[in-house]
Amino acid sequence: MSNRIILAIALGLLAFQLSFSVYYSGRIVADNQKYSELEKKYAQLKFENQNLEIDFANKYAVNGINSP
């Protein structure tokens, strides 16, 4: 009887570990993908912001139009 209980606990733990690993590895991958996308978006916005700043500066410069 006790052997069966120990076996059940061991199998339960195994199942828990497997499901835990599958769940969290999935989340880590998903979060990482999200982070990469956000990082890409941030870089894009940074570029866009720089271009807008340059456009603004060119538009309102008092010493003629210039471009990098």
Partner 1 sequence: MPTNTPSMESTRPKIILITIYLCFVFILAKLFYWQIIKGQELRDKAISQIYKVEKIIPQQGHILSSDEFPLSLDYSYYTLAFYKPNFTKNLKEIMTEIGTIKPEFATQNAKALDKFNNPNQKWMEFITQFNLDQMLKLSKLAGLDFTLKQNRYYPEKKLASNLILNLERYYRRQISGQIGFTRTIIDGTGENLLTKKNWQKSEIDGQNIHTSLDRKIQLLSENVLKNGIEKYQADAASLIIIKPQSGEIIAMASLEASPSALITKIPNISDLFEPGSIFKPLIMSSALDSKSISSDYICQKCNQARTIGQYTINNWNNEFHPDSTLRDIIKNSDNIGMSYIINELGLNKFLDYFHRLKLDQKTGVELSGESISPLKNAWPEIDLATAAFGQGLAINQLQMIQAFNAIANNGQLVKVHLNHQSQTETSQVFNPETMALMRQILSYAVNNSPIASLKPKDMEVCAKSGTAQVAVKGEYTDSNTIGSYIGFYPCVNPKFTMIVTVNNPRSSQWGSSTAAPLWFELAQNLELLL
Q: Pick out residues in 1-20 that bind partner 1 (CB under 8 A).
A: none
User: Cβ closer to partner 1: 8 or 28?
Assistant: 28
Asked if residues 31 and 39 have their Cβ atoms less than 8 Å apart, the reply is no
Instruction: Fill in the per-residue mask, 39 to 58: x = in contact with partner 1 (CB under 8 A), - = not in contact.
Output: -x--xx-xx--xx-xx--xx
Tokens of 51: 């271009």
Which whole-number Å values give the CA distances from 66 to 5, 46, 48, 54, 59, in the listed order?
A: 80, 21, 18, 9, 9
Residues in the chain: 68
Which residue, 15 or 49, has its beta carbon nearer to partner 1?
A: 49
The residue ranges that bind partner 1 (CB under 8 A) are 25, 28-29, 32, 40, 43-44, 46-47, 50-51, 53-54, 57-58, 60-64, 66, 68
